[in-house]
């Protein structure tokens, strides 16, 4: 009997075939040796059937036929890949195939891809084992095969995968039909469009809401000027700024004249203070001086969202481009599995981490650092640090270099090489000590007012030696030399310091920033920040909007639907007029779809199904109830004729 290995993509199947020594021509859709057969899907081979597959009458969009909730869902082969499905189905059912090794991507979506194929191919009671790996190195593939568990151990993950797809299907079909039937005629006429289908989704509509709300906050923001007062203090011929603040028991404390404790609303009030401070000589008394050291630890390792955020800001590439690049690095054995939410290592990996570090000695930009880490031996105690935590890992640990695949570096594009470099830098930095800074805080008294000055300089570079990359803008916050700070550090309480002058510095409040593609991904990952209720925020901790595997696709979908615009040069995200109109339609019909807490709670529920704490029946009931309730609610709405007055409020911002 032969073992059959089924991968998610041809490139991954080729890696398995190489490790297993299975050679041959891939043109047949599989590779075979005396004891093994290796085949592959091409992503999804099966999809959910449209409603007309259940009943031809459902082809026509009609309020009378929704809510549509099938008791049993139908699936079909995707026509473009039907040839490969036939090959795979034939192999799965071959009499000489004994054990099936499922080698699709180790995650919810990879599980779903295989289970659909298994279901459609009607595979009988053959032995099925799940290969779960974190990288595509030879050792990891062999370990994954050796330790493969029975596929049935992943049934809960499979249930969550099916439910995620059903949920997106039911909300998409029912809500898109309901809203389109109610509002598309109005929108079509209003925008003079040929056609308009209102596309909504559990995750997509929530993300649209985040973007529109931010744009409206920016529009409504009113800039407020404020005026700060600073004294120029002279010590040993060098000046530094000391800023005035209203503190407790001083004349201006909690004064209505202040914008905040260090700024006035009106310039004339700042001028009054300058006159007061300048009277009776230009001297101030040092009343407090505090010196302390501060440590800054290396950041946590990259998960996909953090990497997408950094790539957006450093390289101005979209989250979907970042995922493509890191997927390529993964398939070339250079890094570990990319679709991960974890920012830590597992205990098991920590024990063997010297292998990853050793491999980087063959990567020129990091060779000296890798060598230093190995010589110092800091990797030996990494398991006792915050960078190793099994409880913070669901499917996979953080994205790190494998230390292998160096031959593939030559074939990488410049941008992929840069992404690999920042992953390596982040990884090696956790084996270095914290950066250390000297901080000095001074308080000066002038009459009954106080001035404050703060200084900071680096004592030890620590991890920054390896973490600092050539792509980021260099920030130099060291205005003063260590020698000068040493001098003022020796000043004692009661010393009298001279002031050259007082200045008024004008500033103004800033509106919130627009999201770029990276900060939007992080916002989706940390959906809890939008929830005021602390208990609810704690409940959905760790459940964002979407998953690491789907977030970039949601942004792409919104761009393709013309609901948002993504500036390719800056990666800044803004809504379109159509996007704002869709937002308003949803706001006045199914506004729960715009709520981050609700969307994140659905995701939390799916995690509960995957870990067995929620039954699939409980989740299904909750999902069906929600879809039925809100579909019926939209059917009863009759605000279509009034809603254009809401659109009019936004139109002024889109006049050409």
Instruction: Identify any residues that bridge with 451 across adjacent strands, giving them in sequence order.
Output: 244, 444
Whether residue 125 sits in one domain with residue 32 = yes
> Parallel, antiparallel, or unpaired for β 2-7 and 36-40?
parallel
pLDDT 10s digits, 277-304? 998 889 999 999 999 999 999 999 999 9
Strands (E), 337-495: 435-446, 449-460
As a whole number, mean pLDDT of residues 138-156 equals 95
Give the burial class of 506: count Cβ atoms within 10 A of its Cβ; 0-12 exposed, 13-18 middle, 19 or more buried. exposed
Segments forming the whole domain that contains residue 560: 162-220+513-654
Q: Which of 239, 276, 68 is nearest to 166 (CA)?
A: 68
Instruction: Identify any residues that bridge with 77 across adjacent strands, giving them in sequence order.
Output: 46
Whether residue 537 sits in one domain with residue 479 = no
Whether residue 536 sits in one domain with residue 451 = no
pLDDT 10s digits, 56-96? 999 999 999 999 999 999 999 999 999 999 999 999 999 99
Domain closes at, from 147, 180, 211: 147
How far is 262 from 243, CA to CA, in rounded Å?
A: 8
For residue 477, the model assigns a pLDDT of 57
Give the CATH number for residue 15. 3.40.50.140
Phi, psi of 244 (to 5 degrees): -75, 140
Whether residue 328 sits in one domain with residue 191 = no
Q: Which of 110, 560, 525, 27 is nearest to 305 (CA)?
A: 525
Q: Does 42 reside within a domain?
A: yes
pLDDT 10s digits, 477-529? 566 777 888 888 889 999 999 999 999 999 999 999 999 999 999 988 887 66
> Parallel, antiparallel, or unpaired for β 149-150 and 225-235?
unpaired
How far is 20 from 35, CA to CA, in rounded Å?
A: 10
Give the CATH number for residue 610. 1.10.460.10
Helix (H) or strand (E) holding 47: strand 46-48
Whether residue 403 sits in one domain with residue 320 = yes
Compute CA distances 243 → 260, 278, 411, 437, whole Å.
13, 14, 55, 22
As a whole number, mean pLDDT of residues 352-377 equals 97
As a whole number, mean pLDDT of residues 142-165 equals 96
Specify whether the CB–CB gap between 232 and 500 falls below 8 A: yes
Q: Does 622 reside within a domain?
A: yes
Specify whether the CB–CB gap between 99 and 130 falls below 8 A: no
Whether residue 646 sits in one domain with residue 530 = yes
Specify whether the CB–CB gap between 109 and 549 falls below 8 A: yes
Q: Could you give the angle at which helices 551-560 and 204-220 cross, rounded to 10 degrees?
A: 70
Q: Does 152 reside within a domain?
A: no
Domain closes at, from 429, 444, 474: 429
How far is 517 from 317, CA to CA, in rounded Å?
A: 8
Residue 398 has pLDDT above 80, yes or no: yes
pLDDT band of residue 573 (cuts 50, 70, 90) is very high
> Parallel, antiparallel, or unpaired for β 258-260 and 263-264?
antiparallel
Q: Which of 304, 307, 308, 386 is nearest to 341 (CA)?
A: 304
Residue 540 has pLDDT above 60, yes or no: no
Specify whether the CB–CB gap between 174 and 627 falls below 8 A: yes
The pTM of the full predicted model, rounded to 2 decimals, is 0.89
How far is 361 from 532, CA to CA, in rounded Å?
A: 48
Residue 260 has pLDDT above 80, yes or no: yes
Helix (H) or strand (E) holding 615: none
For residue 538, the model assigns a pLDDT of 58
For residue 250, the model assigns a pLDDT of 94
Q: DSSP states of 567-594 as a string?
A: -TTT-BEEE-HHHHHHHHHHHTT-GGGG
For residue 545, the model assigns a pLDDT of 82
Specify whether the CB–CB gap between 135 and 330 falls below 8 A: yes
Whether residue 628 sits in one domain with residue 525 = yes
pLDDT band of residue 595 (cuts 50, 70, 90) is confident
Helix (H) or strand (E) holding 620: helix 616-635
User: Ranked by mean pLDDT, which of 15-19, 391-395, 540-544 comes out on top?
Assistant: 15-19
Rounded (5°) CA angle 43-44-46: 160
Specify whether the CB–CB gap between 196 and 188 falls below 8 A: yes
Helix (H) or strand (E) holding 425: helix 414-429
Q: Is there a cis peptide before residue 514, judged by omega within 30 degrees of 0? A: no
Number of domains in the chain: 4
Sequence-distant (≥ 6) Cβ neighbours of residue 503 within 8 angstroms: 229, 230, 231, 232
Q: Does 500 reside within a domain?
A: yes
Rounded (5°) CA angle 378-379-385: 90
How far is 228 from 87, CA to CA, in rounded Å?
A: 74
Specify whether the CB–CB gap between 508 and 572 falls below 8 A: no
Q: Could you give the angle at which helices 204-220 and 596-611 cross, rounded to 10 degrees?
A: 150
Provide the sign of the torsion angle of the four alpha carbons 271, 276, 279, 285, taken in this order. negative
Specify whether the CB–CB gap between 289 and 493 falls below 8 A: yes
For residue 542, the model assigns a pLDDT of 60
For residue 535, the model assigns a pLDDT of 59
User: Around 81, how many Cα atoms within 13 Å sit in the side-chain half-sphere?
Assistant: 19
Whether residue 101 sits in one domain with residue 139 = yes
Q: Does 156 reside within a domain?
A: no
Give the CATH number for residue 449. 2.70.20.10
| Site of tokens 């800033």 | 510
Alpha helices by DSSP H, 221-286: 267-278
Compute CA distances 228 → 3, 246, 446, whole Å.
75, 11, 16
Q: Does 153 reside within a domain?
A: no
Token representation of residue 622: 């909750």
For residue 167, the model assigns a pLDDT of 95
Token representation of residue 74: 């139908």
Whether residue 465 sits in one domain with residue 414 = no
For residue 313, the model assigns a pLDDT of 92
Neighbours of 390 (CB within 10 A): 14
Give the CATH number for residue 389. 1.10.290.10
Q: Does 155 reside within a domain?
A: no
pLDDT 10s digits, 157-177? 999 999 999 999 999 999 999
User: Around 629, how many Cα atoms within 13 Å sit in the side-chain half-sphere?
Assistant: 10
Whether residue 138 sits in one domain with residue 9 = yes
Compute CA distances 39 → 19, 127, 533, whole Å.
14, 17, 50
Rounded (5°) CA angle 373-429-339: 120
For residue 475, the model assigns a pLDDT of 66
As a whole number, mean pLDDT of residues 466-484 equals 77
pLDDT 10s digits, 234-256? 998 888 999 999 999 999 999 99
Whether residue 495 sits in one domain with residue 521 = no
Q: DSSP states of 303-353 as a string?
A: -HHHHHHHHHHHH---HHHHHHHHHHHHHTTSB--SS----SB-HHHHHTH
Task: Output 6 or 393, whichever has higher pLDDT.
Answer: 6
Whether residue 443 sits in one domain with residue 421 = no
Q: Does 154 reside within a domain?
A: no
Q: What is the CA radius of gyration of the chain?
A: 30
Domain closes at, from 147, 177, 212: 147
For residue 87, the model assigns a pLDDT of 97
């Amino acid at each position: 009997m032969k073992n059959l290995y089924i991968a998610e993509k041809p490139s991954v199947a080729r890696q398995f075939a190489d490790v297993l020594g299975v050679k041959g021509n891939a043109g047949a859709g599989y590779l075979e040796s005396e004891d093994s057969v290796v085949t592959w899907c091409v992503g999804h081979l099966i999809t959910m059937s449209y409603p007309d597959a259940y009943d031809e009458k459902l082809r026509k969009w009609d309020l009378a036929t929704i809510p549509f909730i099938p008791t049993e869902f139908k699936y079909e082969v995707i026509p473009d890949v039907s040839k490969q499905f036939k090959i795979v189905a034939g192999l799965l059912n071959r009499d000489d195939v004994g054990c099936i090794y499922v080698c699709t991507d180790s995650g919810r979506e990879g599980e779903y891809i295989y289970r659909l194929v298994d279901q459609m191919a009607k595979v009988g009671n053959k032995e099925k084992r799940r290969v779960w790996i974190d990288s595509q190195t030879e050792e990891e593939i062999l370990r994954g095969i050796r330790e493969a568990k029975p596929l049935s151990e992943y049934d809960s993950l499979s249930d969550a995968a099916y439910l995620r797809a059903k949920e997106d299907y039911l909300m998409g079909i029912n809500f898109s039909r309901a809203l389109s039937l109610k509002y598309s005629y109005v929108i079509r006429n209003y925008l003079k469009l040929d056609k308009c289908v209102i596309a909504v989704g559990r995750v997509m509509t929530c993300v649209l809401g985040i973007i529109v709300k931010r744009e409206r906050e920016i529009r409504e923001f009113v800039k407020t000027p404020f005026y700060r007062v600073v004294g120029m203090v002279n010590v040993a011929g060098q000046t530094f700024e000391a800023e005035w603040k209203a503190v407790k028991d001083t004349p201006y404390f909690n004064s209505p004249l202040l914008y905040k404790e260090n700024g006035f609303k009106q310039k004339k009030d700042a001028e009054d203070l300058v006159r007061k401070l300048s009277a009776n000589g230009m001297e101030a008394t040092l009343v407090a001086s505090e010196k302390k050291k501060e440590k800054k630890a290396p950041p946590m390792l990259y998960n996909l969202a953090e990497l997408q955020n950094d790539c957006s800001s450093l390289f101005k590439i979209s989250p979907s481009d970042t995922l493509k690049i890191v997927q390529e690095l993964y398939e070339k054995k250079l890094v570990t599995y990319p679709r991960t939410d974890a920012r830590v290592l597992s205990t098991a990996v920590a024990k063997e981490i010297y292998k990853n570090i050793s491999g980087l000695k063959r990567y020129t930009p990091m060779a000296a650092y890798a060598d230093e880490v190995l010589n110092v031996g800091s990797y030996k105690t990494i398991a006792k640090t915050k960078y190793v935590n099994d409880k913070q890992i669901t499917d996979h640990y953080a994205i790190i270099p494998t230390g292998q695949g160096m031959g593939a570096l030559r074939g990488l594009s410049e941008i992929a090489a840069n992404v690999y470099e920042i992953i390596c830098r982040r990884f090696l930095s956790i084996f270095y000590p914290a950066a250390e800074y000297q901080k000095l805080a001074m308080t000066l008294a002038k009459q009954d007012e106080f001035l404050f000055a703060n200084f900071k300089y680096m004592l030890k570079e620590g991890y920054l030696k390896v973490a600092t990359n050539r792509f980021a803008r260099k920030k130099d916050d060291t205005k003063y030399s260590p020698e000068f700070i040493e001098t003022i550090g020796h000043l004692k309480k009661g010393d009298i310091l001279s002031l050259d002058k007082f200045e008024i510095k004008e500033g103004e409040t800033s509106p919130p920033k627009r999201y770029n593609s990276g900060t939007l991904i992080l916002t989706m990952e940390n959906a809890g920040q939008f929830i005021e209720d602390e208990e609810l925020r704690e409940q959905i901790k760790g459940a964002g909007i979407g998953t690491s595997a789907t977030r970039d696709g949601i942004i792409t979908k919104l761009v393709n639907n013309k609901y948002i615009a993504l500036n390719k040069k800056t990666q800044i995200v803004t809504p379109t007029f159509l996007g704002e109109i869709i937002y308003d339609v949803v706001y006045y019909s199914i506004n729960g779809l715009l709520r981050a807490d609700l969307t994140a709670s659905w995701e939390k529920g799916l995690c509960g199904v995957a870990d067995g704490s929620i039954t699939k029946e409980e989740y299904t009931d909750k999902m069906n109830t929600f879809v039925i309730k809100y579909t019926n609610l939209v059917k009863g709405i009759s605000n279509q004729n009034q809603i254009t007055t809401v659109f009019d409020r936004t139109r002024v911002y889109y006049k050409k």
